[in-house]
Structure 1
């Protein structure tokens, strides 16, 4: 596993119009299919554990779709020694995401930025056996245990959505709805901030879950 200080981000602009709002698993599946079809000797046949993928932001239409705009990006994180491989693989790649075609263009490589506060749109843990009203408490306990395991000093909380309710989120994986929450982690030093951006929290990270970013990015995202 790459050291958390030795990874970079690659951002791609997009050519396309729409995506399903819940597209994390479909995006993963489309990338996996392209890898399997590429047959490149320097490429794996499956998405490796140290390639971290983000879901794509857009403008929701309220009917399960998002419109892509100039701020929409496909983002990934990978160890520095893999940047060349993934930069070339994804450049101009056309992905079919449940019938929605997007082309990845104009890649740029960026350094991850440490921030005292990080946010993730969706974090999931396996909590199926817990009574519904207790889920937020056990969920936050799982977050804190994971932070402790990673040696990260920080405080996790579930933010509220625009209606004032806890920011509960779902993702469809193989036809099954998985429930989680948005998460914010405060009071991070620079080293722990980079560590959290690399390792994330919870499961299903290949589907965009557990992807943490500096909260200032929320001002730029649609």
Structure 2
């Protein structure tokens, strides 16, 4: 289960940190090909998501559809909406530690921290509720460019930073490049449904 990552779910942001799902919203789970059978029992299941802002609790139910697996596709540029690196909370520290992680994995690429329209680095907070306490973790959007096909697949498989099961450090192509599909060791299992 270590190699499993969950992608952020696309939707339309709403007040009180809520997300309105659309026809394009999907639960995407990245896992090694030999672990696909582990997620098939989720088909047709209803999941309940609890979240709370301070002392207000909310709950929503969603029904999962039939999963369909797709292979990872290489791209020269990959993006992660939120990368969390333990004890690295400044843009400079995040870049330094992320580069060390790429080097350790043997991945060659150029790391960038995307900026907003006002020039500020994309900084986001992940709030985790644990034993009735809220913890806020600071992270950054991240783009890695100039990747070879092999390094692109490797980065999609391993990610950067931590909390991959909480949608952090999971990289996706910034655009779809058409390439020959090959037997990648990781696949993306996509559930649709509401």
**In the alignment, which of 12, 18, 24 is matched to residue 65 of structure 1?**
18
CA distance in 1, matches of 2:74, 2:28: 17
Q: CA shift at 1:200, angstroms? A: 0.3
Matched, 1:126 2:86: yes
CA distance in 1, matches of 2:10, 2:148: 27
Matched, 1:169 2:124: yes
Q: CA shift at 1:85, angstroms? A: 2.5
State the Cα deviation string for residues 8-67 of structure 1 (Å, max 9, x = none).
xxxxxxxxxxxxxxxxxxxxxxxxxxxxxxxxxxxxxxxx21222112111112431111
8 A Cα contact 2:3 2:158, kept in partner: no
CA distance in 1, matches of 2:14, 2:120: 21
Aligned positions of 1:5-16 closer than 5 A: none
State the Cα deviation string for residues 76-117 of structure 1 (Å, max 9, x = none).
11111111231x122112111111111111321111110000
Structure 1 consecutive aligned stretches of length 4 or more whose deviation exceeds 3 Å? none
Matched, 1:96 2:48: yes
8 A Cα contact 2:125 2:137, kept in partner: yes
Q: Point out where structure 1 has 5 or more consecutive residues left out of the alignment.
A: 1-47, 218-222
How many positions carry a matched residue from both structures? 164
**Higher fraction of strand:** 2
State the Cα deviation string for residues 195-222 of structure 1 (Å, max 9, x = none).
00010000111111101000027xxxxx
CA distance in 1, matches of 2:135, 2:171: 24
Task: Determine the structure 2 residue equivalent to 1:30.
Answer: none
**In the alignment, which of 98, 102, 120 is matched to residue 147 of structure 1?**
102
**Higher fraction of helix:** 1
| RMSD value, Cα | 1.5
Between 1:57-66 and 1:68-77, the stretch displaced more is 57-66
Task: Determine the structure 1 residue equivalent to 2:77.
Answer: 117
